[in-house]
Structure formats: structure tokens, C-alpha cells
């Protein structure tokens, strides 16, 4: 299977944080792409878990459960 790569745009502040982690070489990341790929895989696992969790139809409960699974506070929602 041939790998397909795409370009994405990220805020500069996120890139600075990622670059700092890569420069430290403590966690073994060699590139931005490697870091973002792993972060995306990890987040997809959490999102799939969220989607398979039985939730009430209430939007509030859905957001609260999403935040619990994804480890986010209520202030980080996008409205």
C-alpha cells in the first residue's frame, strides 16, 4: 500500500511547542510529522471510544463525556 502524505496548517504556537519537544530528543520524536502522526493516532483512538460510548441525546452530557474522555476542560470547547 502506498503512503499518501498531505500538508496541514497549524498555529505557530503549537509548532513551537512541538519543535521544543523534538529538540529535547527525550521522547524520541525525530520530526514534526512523526509527532503529529502519533498525536493524531492517539486522538483518533479517544474519539472512537467516545463514539462507541452510549450517551444520552443531551448535548450537554455529550460535551461533558467528550471532555472527560479527551481530558479537556469545559473552557476549551469550540462553540
**Residue 32: which residues within 8 A CB-CB, separation 6 or more?**
15, 18, 19, 22
Task: Please check whether residue 66 lies inside any domain of the structure.
Answer: yes
Query: Which structural domain range is residue 56 located in?
Result: 12-73
Q: How many domains does the chain have?
A: 1
Task: Please check whether residue 18 lies inside any domain of the structure.
Answer: yes
Residue 22 · residue 29 · CB < 8 Å: yes
Residue-wise pLDDT tens digits, 7-31? 999 999 999 999 999 999 888 999 9
pTM greater than the 0.95 cutoff: no
Q: Which helix (H) or strand (E) holds 12?
A: helix 12-24
Amino acid at each position: 500500500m502506498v503512503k499518501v502524505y498531505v500538508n496541514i496548517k497549524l498555529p505557530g504556537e503549537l509548532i513551537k511547542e512541538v519543535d521544543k519537544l523534538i529538540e529535547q530528543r527525550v521522547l524520541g520524536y525525530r520530526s514534526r510529522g512523526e509527532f503529529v502522526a502519533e498525536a493524531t493516532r492517539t486522538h483518533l483512538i479517544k474519539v472512537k471510544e467516545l463514539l462507541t460510548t452510549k450517551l444520552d441525546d443531551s448535548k450537554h452530557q455529550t460535551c461533558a463525556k467528550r471532555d472527560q474522555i479527551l481530558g479537556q476542560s469545559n473552557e476549551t470547547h469550540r462553540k
